[in-house]
Amino acid sequence: MSYPVIRRRSNLPFYLEIIARVVVRMLYRVRTSGLQHFPATGGVLLIANHISYVDVCVLQLVCPRPIRYLGHRGLKRSPFFNWCFDVSGTIPISSQQPLEGMRQAVKALKAGEVVCLCPEGHISRTGQLMEIKKGFELIARQAGVPVVPASIDGLWGSVFSFAGNKYIWKSPRLMPTHVFIAFGKPTPPSEVGLAWARRALLDLGCEAFHERPILRRHVGRECVRTLTKHPWRIIIVDRTAERRVIKCAQLYAAAAALSRRVRATLPEARIGVVLPPGAGAFIANLAILIAGKTPVNLNFTGGRVAIESSIQIGGIKTVITADAMKSKLPNFPWPERTLDLRAELAAAGGKRGMLPWLIAAWILPNQWCASLLGLPCVGDRAEAGLLFTSGSSGEPKGVILSHRNILANCSQISSLSILPETCSLLGCLPVFHSFGFTVTLWYPMLRGCQVVTVPSPLDTRKIIDAIRDEQATVLLGAPTFIRPILKKAQPGELRSLDLVVTGAEKLPDDLFRAFHTAFHIEILQGYGLTETTPATNINQPHPPIVTSTGEPQLGKKAGAVGRLMPGITARIIDPDTGRELPDTETGIVLFKGANVFEGYLDDVAKTRAAFRDGWFVTGDLGRFDHDGFLYIEGRLSRFSKIGGEMVPHGTIEQKIVEVFEIDETAGYAAVVMGVPDAVKGEALVLLTTLPLTIDEVRTKLHDAGLTGLWVPRIIRRVEKIPVLGTGKLDLKHCRELAMLPAKG
């Protein structure tokens, strides 16, 4: 065997360079892209994200030229870091007195060296890209050298990162860590700036994230590995009827036994599932997936026409449910082959059929347990789930989620501090909802955290009891489902909660304030769509400061839905022209990432309309601030263009709630919709359950400072505002009500 000649590619003494390279190669498997564009000669300013203490080591390992780093001067107070600075030629720089460090950096660049700095200014303690600081562009312009961006992926979670809210003191990875570094093209100093740097690092981070080996794996195999790695661990506390505790080995055994029967008796590729959150939904979905088929969780709260459309689009011939569910849903269009889960488990051998799989879970390595089921190692872009959009603004569309999509989003969520392996998650969201499907179904099986299930998000009392009795630490739900808790829960009943996270709709300010006052818990807002598997942004608690040189970092902001999670990048475009806008301006939000789906089932036209040059068009209006936090202003369909001005329906609704002091505890009471108007393009219609008149609405809104364009011209009294089973407005039916002809 021949060994490559070690060339001098760092500023370290030769013997230290050899030692460092050997150690780094033992601990990390580093791959790269874009290095062919790296300048071979001349000064180069290299900027990179900063997520661990070993970033400098892996960068130098792959860079073909020696790198000089800019480091925080405060680290020199440590004898170890002071020695590191001296032997590596690191240029110390202080945020209080940066000019001296910048002058040294410019001098090194003019001398033809490669200088690397982190434009965030410090190690990220959230795993996300922090605020980009000024300075690097000034250095590049004064030195007259190109800037090369680079994004490092894979080091978050290592002992040298702040994953788990601590450095060093956590279990080291037993296998070498896969690291990918994506290098960008050199950019002239005249073209760089803060906005350019953020976009470049996010785009390269997305590229690097796509290279994670885990994304090529099979969701079913990964779930089986997790379940059989800790067979004794309780994974489900099912409170559907009577309390049942399910351990990892039991879930694996039940799903394995049922999967054999599914594979033998059901020839079709997709199997429907109609079950509430609970052990049954876990068993059915996992069994179908490891049988080599796709689970399709159907929205049983929708209208009959929408359900029939979903069944037809998905080619569903068989549905697995429970007899109790079947009796509760007499109007559901059950297919001829509708199977009872309990009966199918009995036909699969019952407890006797599960016994061999239980034994295997306890005595065999987890890889063998997966191989016994014949599970492939690679799933990648193959179909792993089929969900249907809620139909809030049209007919349901079949959203194909791949193994890569689900594994990516679970990895992204796991990188945050909100759902650690030790958490106890309250699972009440329906499994046909994208958040319920990914976060409260697959995530616990992939991560190994416990989930406490309640069959309906509308059963507030059961949710409160489950939190109190099972000491749940995390509650997920839409604001519509969280609001009733304010009325029915006593502060002591929610004492165990560490986090409450909401999505699916905008978090009202009054709900945030009232919940914090009553329970001393800040609700964290997130954002996502079915097509993004679903989460793209989630606020998280501010990371703690644990070192003397640490600085405060933001994990959340009021009114924002959080920063982009790792591996996701975004653009903002003008809703009228499609022109790309600065990220800080309001426009339609576009996403790209491994969690973004690739298309709708059998619908080329809708798939083409959903993407723009490879970017997924969300249809939501939003903007980013300089810290990278996303603010969603509303859905494009929830705006009207009147007299050339974009008028937000949500803002008007919120103002109506405030001026009329409407109690929204019982649900929506006022919704604004736009209808065609021959003169101004659109007219505003107020749907309300309250006895309001045009005159009093106009007067109060004018007094509150709204212009005439923002005042509804028509009021339509309705008995109830249409709402979907997910808690979101049923925009399709709201629009139909708004379009009804006025009564004479």
pLDDT in tens, 565-589: 999 999 999 887 889 999 999 899 9
| In this structure, CATH architecture of domain 14-211 | 3-Layer(aba) Sandwich (3.40)
Identify which has the larger pLDDT, 160 or 439.
Answer: 439
Q: pLDDT at residue 7 above 50?
A: no
| Beta bridge pairs of residue 369 | none
Sheet containing 234-238: order of strands: 244-247, 234-238, 450-453, 424-427, 474-477, 499-502, 523-528, 535-538
Range(s) within the chain of domains with CATH label 3.40.1130.10: 14-211
Give me the numbers of helices (H) and strands (E) for the chain, helices first please: 24, 32
What are the backbone angles phi and psi of residue 403, rounded to the nearest 5°?
-60, -40
Q: pLDDT at residue 465 above 90?
A: yes
| In this structure, CATH architecture of domain 645-739 | 2-Layer Sandwich (3.30)
Classify domain 554-642 by CATH number. 2.30.38.10
* 222, 406 Cβ separation under 8 angstroms: no
Range(s) within the chain of domains with CATH label 3.30.300.30: 645-739
> Rounded distance, CA 389 to CA 600, Å?
10
Identify which has the larger pLDDT, 533 or 505.
Answer: 533
Q: Which of 11-20, 190-199, 291-300, 371-380 is the least confident region?
A: 11-20
The bridge status of strand 67-72 relative to strand 91-93 is parallel
Query: What's the token pair of residue 352?
Result: 């006797």
pLDDT tens track for 418-459: 888 889 999 999 999 898 999 999 999 999 999 999 998 888
User: CA geometry: angle at 571 spanning 565 and 572, to 5°?
Assistant: 120
> Rounded distance, CA 334 to CA 467, Å?
34
The SS3 call for residue 245 is: strand
The pLDDT value recorded for residue 344 is 95
DSSP 72-116: EGGGGGSHHHHHHHHHHT-EEE-SSS-HHHHHHHHHHHHTT-EEE
Q: pLDDT at residue 556 above 50?
A: yes
Query: At how many degrees (to 10) do helices 350-363 and 248-265 cross?
Result: 120
Confidence class for position 125, pLDDT limits 50, 70, 90 = confident
The pLDDT value recorded for residue 86 is 60
- Greatest alpha-carbon span in the chain: 92
For 26-52, what is the mean pLDDT? 91
CA distances to 223, 345, 355, 487 from 351, rounded to whole Å, are 21, 9, 6, 43
Choose among 459, 416, 286: nearest CA to 357.
286
The pLDDT value recorded for residue 4 is 36
- Report the mean per-residue pLDDT for the chain: 87
The pLDDT value recorded for residue 76 is 52
Q: pLDDT at residue 549 above 60?
A: yes
Q: Which residues contact 670 (CB under 8 A, 6 or more apart)?
A: 653, 656, 657, 660, 662, 686, 687, 688, 689, 690, 692, 721
Q: pLDDT at residue 2 above 50?
A: no
Q: Which residues contact 343 (CB under 8 A, 6 or more apart)?
A: none
For 509-532, what is the mean pLDDT? 90
Q: Which of 38-47, 370-379, 427-436, 637-646 is the least confident region?
A: 637-646
For 480-485, what is the mean pLDDT? 86
The pLDDT value recorded for residue 41 is 92
Cis peptide leading into residue 534 (ω within 30°): yes
User: CA geometry: angle at 342 spanning 336 and 346, to 5°?
Assistant: 105
Q: pLDDT at residue 273 above 90?
A: yes
* 122, 72 Cβ separation under 8 angstroms: yes
Range(s) within the chain of domains with CATH label 2.30.38.10: 554-642
Q: Which residues contact 160 (CB under 8 A, 6 or more apart)?
A: 52, 53, 54, 167, 168
pLDDT tens track for 191-221: 999 999 999 999 999 999 999 999 999 999 9
Question: Is the sign of the CA dihedral 584, 589, 592, 596 positive or negative?
Answer: positive
The pLDDT value recorded for residue 725 is 67
Q: Which of 312-321, 428-437, 646-655 is the least confident region?
A: 646-655
Give me the percent of the chain exceeding a pLDDT of 70.
90
pLDDT tens track for 666-707: 678 889 888 887 666 778 889 888 888 888 888 888 888 787
pLDDT tens track for 380-397: 999 999 999 865 445 788
> Rounded distance, CA 171 to CA 165, Å?
13
For 173-184, what is the mean pLDDT? 86
> Rounded distance, CA 104 to CA 78, Å?
22
Q: pLDDT at residue 87 above 70?
A: no
DSSP 562-612: -BBPTTEEEEEE-TTT--EE-TTS-EEEEEEETTS---BTT-HHHHHHHEE
| Beta bridge pairs of residue 498 | none
The pLDDT value recorded for residue 646 is 67
Q: Which of 13-17, 187-191, 305-309, 599-603 is the least confident region?
A: 13-17
Confidence class for position 472, pLDDT limits 50, 70, 90 = very high
> Rounded distance, CA 422 to CA 662, Å?
40
| Beta bridge pairs of residue 237 | 245, 452
pTM for this predicted structure: 0.86
CA distances to 81, 502, 504, 631 from 732, rounded to whole Å, are 61, 23, 16, 25
Confidence class for position 83, pLDDT limits 50, 70, 90 = low
